[in-house]
Homo-oligomer: A and B are copies of this chain.
C-alpha cells in the first residue's frame, strides 16, 4: 500500500489530469438551477446530487424529506478509524432583478483578468463550485487509492439561503448517524484575491425577519388596497408607520443597533480570538476588500486592528430590503395599505437568535408598534471551535502541504448552520476551509476561478486542498 504522502502525491497528479473534465462537471452542476427562495429547480438538483453520491459509492444515498426542500444524505464507510461529516449546500440565491453580463444559469466560462478562466454563474462560488470540486477530489482519491482515508457522512442541504429552516429537523432525526462523526468540515473556497487563505473555525449567528405594517393589523390607514394619495389629509399611512418603527431600531447612522438589550449578551472576545485578530493585522489588506465590494470607506478603518475588531466581533442589524406602495416607473400617487421590510441581524457569542427576535418584538411593542407583524424567516445560532481542534489543525496542515500558510480567522462573518453540528447535542468540532477563489456571492456575475494566477489558485489546487485535508485528518494526532 501507498504511504499517505505517496498516495497524496499521486492524487494531486490525478487531479491535474482530470482538470478539464472536472471543469465540465462544475459547468453541468451550475446549469441545474436550485434557487431555494423561488423553489426553482430544487428537486431536480437534489436528484442530481443523489446521483453524484451514488456514483461515489455512498450507501445509503438518499433524498431525505424535511417538510421543505430536501436534504441529500450519503454515507461512505471504508473502515477508516476516523469519520468526517461533510456539510454541503446545494441551493443558491435568486437572480431576478440582477444585471448580469452573462446568463446566470448558463455555466459560462469567461476570461476574467487577472484570474484567467472563471466560471461565471449563480452558485459558482456559493456553493456549487466548491461542492462539486469536493466530490471531484473524493473521486480522484478513490481512483488512485481504491478507497478513502476517512469515512464520510455527506449532508447536502437545499435551504441554506433561506436560513436552513428545516435542517434542525434533519439533524435531530439523523442524530444517531451524525454522532458517528469525529468532526465536521465545510469544504469551501477561502482564498482572497490577494492570495491569502482563510480558515473559519466559527460563524456569526443569523436572525432574518420580515416586518410589515398594514392598515389591516393597525386598524388605521387603508385596510384592503392602496388608495388615492389625496386622502392622506384624513387617512393614516402604514408605510410612514414602518419608517417610524424602523427608525427606532438603529441609530441615525444605521450602524449602532438601538433595539433594547441588543448588546446585553455580547461577551468580550477571548484571548485566543483577540490574538487571532492581532495576528491577522500582519497579513490583512483593506484595499482588495474595498475593490471586491466596491466600497470607498469602511467603518472603523482608522487602523486594520479597529476594522477587524469591528468586522469579527460587532453584531449588526441590516436592512436587506424594503417595499411598499407604488415602486414602478414615473409617478403614481397612492397611499399604501401596507409596507414590508426585510432585516437580518448578525450575532456573536453569546447572543441567541430567539433572544434577539424576542427583544426586537418587545422593543416594538413597548413603543406602541404591537400591530407590526414580525415574521421569523430563518437563521440560527453562532458556532465556535477552538483553533487547536484536530479538524482545524488538519485544515492548516493540508494547506501547508500545498505551500500555503492559512490565516485562521476568529470566525466567519457570514452564516451557515455549523451550529447544528458544532453545538449541543452533537458538539462536533467544525471548520470551513479550502483553497480556491470566487467572488460576488449574492451579487451579479458571481464567479469561481478555474485557472488562477500567481496569487490565487484555480480549480485543481482547490480540489487538492480538499484531498490533503482528508489525508491530514486521517493521519493527524488525536
CB within 8 Å for A319 and B330 given contacts A221-B295, A234-B301: no
Contact indicator per residue, chain A 325-347, by CB within 8 Å of chain B (1) or not (0): 11111111111110110101010
Q: Are A346 and B233 in contact (CB under 8 A)?
A: yes
> Max chain B CB contacts within 10 Å: which of A206, A215, A322?
A322
Q: Are A37 and B254 in contact (CB under 8 A)?
A: no
CB-nearest residue of chain B to A413: B230
> Max chain B CB contacts within 10 Å: which of A96, A98, A227, A444?
A227
CB within 8 Å for A346 and B232 given contacts A237-B318, A322-B323, A335-B320: yes
Q: Are A244 and B241 in contact (CB under 8 A)?
A: no
CB-nearest residue of chain B to A203: B230
CB within 8 Å for A333 and B344 given contacts A247-B244, A295-B221: yes
Q: Are B331 and A163 in contact (CB under 8 A)?
A: yes
Interface residues of A in 238-296 (CB under 8 A from B): 239-241, 243-244, 246-247, 250, 252-255, 293-296
CB-nearest residue of chain B to A367: B252
For A96, list chain B residues within 8 Å (CB): 328
Q: Are B243 and A442 in contact (CB under 8 A)?
A: no
Complex Cα distance, B96 from A308, in Å, reads: 46
CB-nearest residue of chain B to A235: B295
For A314, list chain B residues within 8 Å (CB): 233
Copies in the complex: 2
Complex Cα distance, B441 from A163, in Å, reads: 41
> Max chain B CB contacts within 10 Å: which of A204, A208, A324, A333?
A333
Interface size class of A (residues with CB under 8 A): 35 or more
For A413, list chain B residues within 8 Å (CB): 230-231, 233
Q: A106: CB under 8 A from chain B? A: no
Complex Cα distance, B219 from A327, in Å, reads: 25
Q: A169: CB under 8 A from chain B? A: no
CB within 8 Å for A240 and B234 given contacts A37-B330, A215-B295, A342-B327: no
Q: Which of B162, B241, B294, B321 has a CB less than 8 Å from the CB of A334?
A: B321
Q: A223: CB under 8 A from chain B? A: yes
CB within 8 Å for A222 and B37 given contacts A322-B239, A336-B320: no
Q: Are A233 and B443 in contact (CB under 8 A)?
A: no
Complex Cα distance, B206 from A354, in Å, reads: 46
Q: Are B219 and A296 in contact (CB under 8 A)?
A: yes
Q: A299: CB under 8 A from chain B? A: yes
Q: Are A332 and B311 in contact (CB under 8 A)?
A: no
For A377, list chain B residues within 8 Å (CB): 330-331
CB-nearest residue of chain B to A204: B230
Complex Cα distance, B326 from A443, in Å, reads: 11
Contact indicator per residue, chain A 95-125, by CB within 8 Å of chain B (1) or not (0): 0111100000000000000000000000000
Q: Which of B241, B294, B311, B327 has a CB less than 8 Å from the CB of A321?
A: B327
Q: Are B443 and A316 in contact (CB under 8 A)?
A: no
CB within 8 Å for A318 and B299 given contacts A228-B443, A293-B222, A294-B223: no
Complex Cα distance, B250 from A437, in Å, reads: 47
Q: Which of B226, B231, B327, B442 has a CB less than 8 Å from the CB of A332?
A: B442
Q: Are A335 and B318 in contact (CB under 8 A)?
A: yes
For A319, list chain B residues within 8 Å (CB): 237, 239-240, 243, 324-325, 336, 339
CB-nearest residue of chain B to A325: B321
Q: Are A241 and B254 in contact (CB under 8 A)?
A: yes
CB within 8 Å for A233 and B332 given contacts A228-B443, A323-B322: no
For A41, list chain B residues within 8 Å (CB): none
Q: Are A230 and B346 in contact (CB under 8 A)?
A: yes
Q: Are A342 and B331 in contact (CB under 8 A)?
A: yes
| A interface, CB within 8 angstroms of B | 36-38, 93-94, 96-99, 161-163, 204, 206, 208, 215, 219-237, 239-241, 243-244, 246-247, 250, 252-255, 293-301, 307, 310-312, 314, 316-337, 339-340, 342, 344, 346, 377-378, 412-415, 441-444
Task: Enumerate 8 A-B pairs (CB-CB under 8 Å) in ascending A order.
Answer: A223-B296, A233-B299, A233-B312, A239-B319, A320-B331, A321-B334, A322-B325, A333-B442
The 4 closest A-B pairs by CB, nearest first: A240-B254, A37-B330, A321-B325, A247-B247
